[in-house]
Amino acid sequence: MARVMIVDDETELLALYSEMLTVFGHEIIAAVTNGEEAIKKYEELKTKPDLIILDHRMPIRNGLETAAEILSQDPDEKIIFISADSSIRKAALDIGAIDFLEKPFVLKSLRDSVQRALSA
């Protein structure tokens, strides 16, 4: 079981990812709707997540800015990007994301990506 933080501005997707990851046996320790809130929440957490699921297109701070800030605090943090914006795939992986899933995707892809990330 892993502790997971989910960041996506679409509340329906937050709920879906939370439900699916819980079914997969993981604990959701935070679910937030924008990059700025994600950074603040990350800094407040006494026990950091084992994995962060991160959208790119969000208000206030986008996913790349959010990932860069979190990774500057902990370069070993595992981040999986989930975005409909495939043009940022290379940038996401270059800054340290462990995987990139393009929306829409099948839920098995999420499960497999999480398993790979946690094994890395």
Task: Give the domains, in start order, of the chain with CATH numbers.
Answer: 12-23+32-86+98-119 (3.40.50.2300)
Q: Please report the pLDDT score of residue 92 as a whole number.
A: 97
Residue 107, pLDDT > 90, answer no
pTM for this predicted structure: 0.95
Residue 34, pLDDT > 90, answer yes
Q: Please report the pLDDT score of residue 72 as a whole number.
A: 96
CB under 8 Å to 34, separation ≥6 — which residues?
7, 9, 58, 59, 60, 61
Cβ pair 66, 81 in contact under 8 A? no
For the segment 72-90, the average pLDDT, to the nearest whole number, is 95
Residue 15 C-alpha from the chain's centroid: 14
